[in-house]
RNA sequence: GGGGACGUAGUUCAGUUGGUUAGAACGCUGCCCUGUCACGGCAGAGGCCGCGGGUUCGAGUCCCGUCGUCCCCGCCA
């Protein structure tokens, strides 16, 4: 291979095949950098030594595919290229075959400037030849293999589940596949193999995993593709800690495959605590938590600052930002996403000037050091009285609005000043800091204001905490009652978070049919509705279901972080654009009348 | 569904207040060159300024619409 030859190979015969990466023509002496996925080796063609090959080599162009037979030669010391692993040797061409010519590609794999994504995606096969993409795809393979090997070693079976399955319209929108044999009916592509893996537990395969494609018809983001790969696993009889142990085990193996050692066990944090300290359920632990500094101010201070004294006053500290100009400080307010009466009291300098006592206490509480940026987020004094909405939550909706606003600002500030403090820098930084975290004890239900109803926060197969079970028995009206005790039910659910990215989400499942029915009832589903949607599953639960639980992690996201990439598209060979289009194959497309007729489908002409 | 950024040569970009023939670098083509490695030198080709409409004596530049790519909010059990 083109990355294989070393000084120790000098004198040997070798055959290299690959692409012409670059050609340097010196007249009677010509160099060809020959590239394959392993690297680049310099081929030398000398007119004096072999006129026929020299003549042929003059016709070579970038991206031609060639085979070169020759002798490996140690380079003279003054011509060694220290930037190449093969730089101590070169291949002296004795035979040259042009295996295929190439049109001039729109961009070259060896280009240093990155072409726009539209062109890259249209000519993805050229783009994938670039060494970064070759590295990322190889990394993806290594990570997936390490996980497979680890889980197999732990006694897990990899078992396939159907791609053509049943639509269960909850959660994300389904991709649908029309049935020809039964016109008017549709399969759905799985959003996750959730019910199948639970049924595999009922079937006696007590440790299951699958590296599996999942599909969600929702709008895309840099870290969200409509089809994506999950490391899906389920096991019988686990405590949450046992699932976490397995995940920590395969992540250790996966990161080791990328040459990175990580520490286990991962720290754990309650959902409520994550909200209070970071304003988000997937905190980035590389940055300091924020602090409630309400007590640092006197009631008079708060009044003068027009801050609501009954709600948290959050101090955000971003380390090592350095002195900010007046203009920079003024620009903080516009980047703020305000929720529910939250405001930024951005000019901590002004607070220092006008309220030196309070400012000193705040500085002490958040442990300010020279060059740190401190921003205060609080509710304005006009915020209404705390309503009794969700009285059973530890964090009230008004408090949540402040925490969430502060959480968004914290990340926005950290990203803006990433270059200065170096903490969130993703690319080009070899010394990477990986902070894993288990977030646990999520609420079982979330209040959906538009539906005026409680919804399952994770999914309806998640087991509630044993001691919260009685709170499910609040009557049929409770699902429509924002003040019902449902708000206090905690789920045996957990997320694994890395540097502010949700890597995966799992739970201990419900294994008793009566509990499952109670959850459906609590969600306002009648027995008939539940039966119509999940009848097969409710029935299966009745035939000796072992306690079970599991998790699913996003493989693409893991590889993205390991690759230091900003987008999933950098670690997926054939990704889709923000409008869910494949620019290379040009999908989706309209289909012909005949195909539609066979499926019994009519398309509305617009 | 909403907000923002961008679209000029094959590629990455520049293009002033609306004003003559739209530029640079890389790439490409030809010629020269025996130690380069992002080789070098000389010469050259290459443009529907995303598309459509408008304003204007005159539009890459201003206005309206439209298409595409990217980022964010909503959405993602």
- First-to-last alpha carbon distance for chain A, in angstroms, is 55
**C-alpha torsion angle, residues A484, A487, A490, A495 (rounded to 10):** 160
- Between residue 375 and residue 414 of chain A, the positions with Cβ below 7 Å from nucleic chain B are none
CA-to-C1' span, A571 to B41 (A): 42
pLDDT above 90: residue A427: no
Residue A48: CB less than 7 A from any atom in strand B: yes
Q: pLDDT confidence of A362, banded at 50, 70, 90? A: very high
The DSSP H or E segment spanning A420 is helix A418-421
Residues A74 and A88 sit within 8 Å (Cβ to Cβ): yes
Chain B positions with any atom < 7 A from a protein CB: 1, 10-13, 26-29, 32-40, 68-77
ipTM of the complex: 0.93
**C-alpha torsion angle, residues A198, A201, A203, A204 (rounded to 10):** 170
pLDDT above 60: residue A601: yes
Residue A340 has a pLDDT of: 72
Write the pLDDT tens digit of every residue in A240-291: 999 999 999 999 999 999 999 999 999 999 999 999 999 999 999 988 998 9
CA-to-C1' span, A112 to B13 (A): 14
- The whole-angstrom separation of Cα A299 and Cα A429 is 46
CA-to-C1' span, A5 to B57 (A): 70
Residue lying closest to nucleotide B77, CA to C1': A171
- The whole-angstrom separation of Cα A529 and Cα A272 is 33
The DSSP H or E segment spanning A298 is none
Number of Cβ atoms within 10 Å of the Cβ of A327: 7
Residue A247 has a pLDDT of: 98
For the whole model, what pTM was predicted? 0.93
Lowest-confidence region among A73-82, A120-129, A167-176, A575-584: A167-176
Number of Cβ atoms within 10 Å of the Cβ of A499: 21
Residue A350 has a pLDDT of: 81
Residues A343 and A377 sit within 8 Å (Cβ to Cβ): yes
Residue A430 has a pLDDT of: 45
- The whole-angstrom separation of Cα A468 and Cα A445 is 12
**C-alpha torsion angle, residues A405, A408, A412, A418 (rounded to 10):** 130
Residue lying closest to nucleotide B37, CA to C1': A81
């Amino acid at each position: 291979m083109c990355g294989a030859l070393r000084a120790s190979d000098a004198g040997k015969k070798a055959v290299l095949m690959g692409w012409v990466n670059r050609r340097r023509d010196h007249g009677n002496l010509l160099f060809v950098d020959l590239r394959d996925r392993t690297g680049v080796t310099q081929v030398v063609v000398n007119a004096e030594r072999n006129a026929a090959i020299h003549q042929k080599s003059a016709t070579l162009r970038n991206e031609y595919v060639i085979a070169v037979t020759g002798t490996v030669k140690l380079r003279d010391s003054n011509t060694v290229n220290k930037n190449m692993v093969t730089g101590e040797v070169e291949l002296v061409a004795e035979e040259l075959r042009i295996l295929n010519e190439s049109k001039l590609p729109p961009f070259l794999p060896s280009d240093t400037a990155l072409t726009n994504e539209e062109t890259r995606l249209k000519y993805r096969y050229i783009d994938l030849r670039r060494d970064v993409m070759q590295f990322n795809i190889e990394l993806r393979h290594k990570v997936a293999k390490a996980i497979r090997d680890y889980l197999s070693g732990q006694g897990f079976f990899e078992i396939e589940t159907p791609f053509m399955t049943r639509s269960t319209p909850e959660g994300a929108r389904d991709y649908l596949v029309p049935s020809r044999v039964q016109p008017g009916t549709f399969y759905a592509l799985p959003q996750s193999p959730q019910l199948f893996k639970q049924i595999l537990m009922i079937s006696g395969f007590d440790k299951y995993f699958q590296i599996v494609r999942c599909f969600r018809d929702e709008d895309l983001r840099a870290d969200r593709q409509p089809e994506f790969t999950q490391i899906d696993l389920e096991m019988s009889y686990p405590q949450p800690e046992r699932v976490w142990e397995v995940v920590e085990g395969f992540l250790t193996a996966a990161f080791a495959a990328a040459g990175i050692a990580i520490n286990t066990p991962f720290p754990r944090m309650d959902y409520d605590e994550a909200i209070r300290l970071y304003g988000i359920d997937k905190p980035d632990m590389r940055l300091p938590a924020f602090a409630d500094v309400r007590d640092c101010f006197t009631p008079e201070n708060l009044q003068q600052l027009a801050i609501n004294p009954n709600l948290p006053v959050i101090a955000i500290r971003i380390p090592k930002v350095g002195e900010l100009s007046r203009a920079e400080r003024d620009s903080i307010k516009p980047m703020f996403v305000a929720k529910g009466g939250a405001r930024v009291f951005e000019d901590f300098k002004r607070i220092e000037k006008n309220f030196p006592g309070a400012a000193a206490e705040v500085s002490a509480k958040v442990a300010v050091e020279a060059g740190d940026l401190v921003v205060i987020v609080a509710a304005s004094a006009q915020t209404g009285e705390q309503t009794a909405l969700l009285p059973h939550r530890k964090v009230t909706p008004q408090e949540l609005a402040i925490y969430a606003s502060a959480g968004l600002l914290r990340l926005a500030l950290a990203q803006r000043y990433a270059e200065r403090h170096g903490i969130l820098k993703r690319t080009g930084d070899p010394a990477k800091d990986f902070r894993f975290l288990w977030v646990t004890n999520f609420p079982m239900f979330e209040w959906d204001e538009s539906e005026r109803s409680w919804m399952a926060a994770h999914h309806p197969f998640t087991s509630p905490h044993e001691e919260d079970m009685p709170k499910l028995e609040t009557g049929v009206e409770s699902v429509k009652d924002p003040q019902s005790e449902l708000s206090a039910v905690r789920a045996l659910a957990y997320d694994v978070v890395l540097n502010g990215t949700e890597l995966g989400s799992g739970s201990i499942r419900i294994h008793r049919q009566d509990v499952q029915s109670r959850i459906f009832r609590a969600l306002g589903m009648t027995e008939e509705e539940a039966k119509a949607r999940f009848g097969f599953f409710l029935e299966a639960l009745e035939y000796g279901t072992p306690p079970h639980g599991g998790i699913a992690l996003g493989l693409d996201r893991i590889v993205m972080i390991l690759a230091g990439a900003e987008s999933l598209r950098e670690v997926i060979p054939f990704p889709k654009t923000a409008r869910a289009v494949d620019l290379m194959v040009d999908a989706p497309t309209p289909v012909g009348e005949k195909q539609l007729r066979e499926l019994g489908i009519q398309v509305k002409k617009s």
